Amino acid sequence: MKITDVQFIISAVRPEQYPEDGLPEIALAGRSNVGKSSLINTMIMRKNLARTSSQPGKTQQLNYYRVNDMVYLVDFPGYGYAKVSKVQREKFGVMIETYLRERELLKLQLLVIDIRHAPSKDDCLMYEWLKHYNIPTCVVATKADKIPRSKWQKHMKLIKETLGMDREDTMVLFSSESGLGREELWNIIAERAVT
Ligand code: GDP
């Protein structure tokens, strides 16, 4: 996918702030530190547009990036950060569930998982929400460069089994370090964005 234009549009804290131009949305969820910002930067070929440095768990907002006037990448706050207060956690829950339930422009959810580890309880809960709201999901197993190629299949199988993944959901091996999976993921996004 050739990236001709990327714009950071808004950090939205309320649904009234979501863009109103009707472009399809592809959302990204994952644990803090899983590599979600790096993945976005790799997808859009920018070094630092998605803030890798943003403080984990502090702000509960949806970051909207418009790509090629074709699609929005919508970055959820990272979850599972130990020091988050109960109030913050509840805010996250309400915001995300409302978005999943009501945002008809959401065409595909990317659930980003570190390939080295089995999905956490929070990852499993997020996947359950997605299935509850019938959201097509693509699990992105990132940091693939951190384990030998010979172990990829075994780790992907563990992720699939732990999440209890639906057959119709896809999984992509990814590395922000090498760019592995970038084209494949854009193809999956482009296909979903037009349906
Ligand atoms: P976020 O909190 O989910 O946005 O995570 P970041 O994108 O900030 O990444 C967390 C850390 O993992 C950073 O030190 C990144 O450089 C590193 N990282 C992210 N993706 C990859 C990857 O694919 N391969 C390797 N080797 N490191 C990665």
- Cβ burial of 136 (10 Å; 0-12, 13-18, 19+) is middle
DSSP H helical segments within the chain, as ranges? 36-44, 86-102, 121-132, 152-163, 182-193
Domain membership flag for residue 56: yes
Ligand 1 centre to CA of 71 (Å) is 23
Contact 13, 60 (CB under 8 A): yes
Token pair 């945002």: residue:
103
Quote the ligand 1 centre to 98 CA distance (angstroms): 28
Residue 58 has pLDDT above 80, yes or no: no
Q: Is 169 helix (H, G, I), strand (E, B) or coil?
A: coil
pLDDT of residue 53: 46
Closest by Cα among 140, 150, 160 to 38: 140
Query: Residue 96: which CATH number?
Result: 3.40.50.300
Structural domain for 174, as ranges:
6-193
In testing the pocket of ligand 1, which one of 28, 38, 142 has its CB within 8 Å of the most ligand atoms?
Answer: 38
Q: pLDDT of 68-112, one tens digit each?
A: 999 999 999 999 877 778 888 888 899 999 999 999 999 999 999
Find the helix or strand (DSSP H, E) in which 38 lies.
Answer: helix 36-44
* Percentage with pLDDT > 90 across the chain: 82
Q: Tell me if 173 is assigned to some domain.
A: yes
Inside any domain, residue 133:
yes
Residues 73, 105, 194, 113, CA torsion sign? positive
**pLDDT bucket at 59, cuts 50 / 70 / 90:** low
* CB distance 36 to 113 below 8 Å: no
Which protein residue has the closest C-alpha to ligand 1 atom 15?
35
Residue 57: per-residue pLDDT: 56
Average confidence (pLDDT) over 167-173: 95
In a domain, 80, yes or no: yes
User: Average pLDDT in the 9-26 region?
Assistant: 95
Residue 1 lies in a domain: no
Residue 126, in any domain of the structure: yes
Atom of ligand 1 nearest to the CA of 176: 23
- What's the confidence (pLDDT) of residue 19? 97
Type of residue found at 12: A
Closest ligand 1 atom to residue 34 Cα is 3
For ligand 1, atom 6, the nearest C-alpha belongs to 35
pTM of the model: 0.96
Is 77 a pocket residue for ligand 1 (Cβ < 6 Å)?
A: no
- 109-126 residue pLDDT tens: 999 999 999 999 999 999
For residues 35-45, average pLDDT: 95
123 and 163 in contact (C-beta within 8 Å)? yes
Tally of domains within the chain: 1
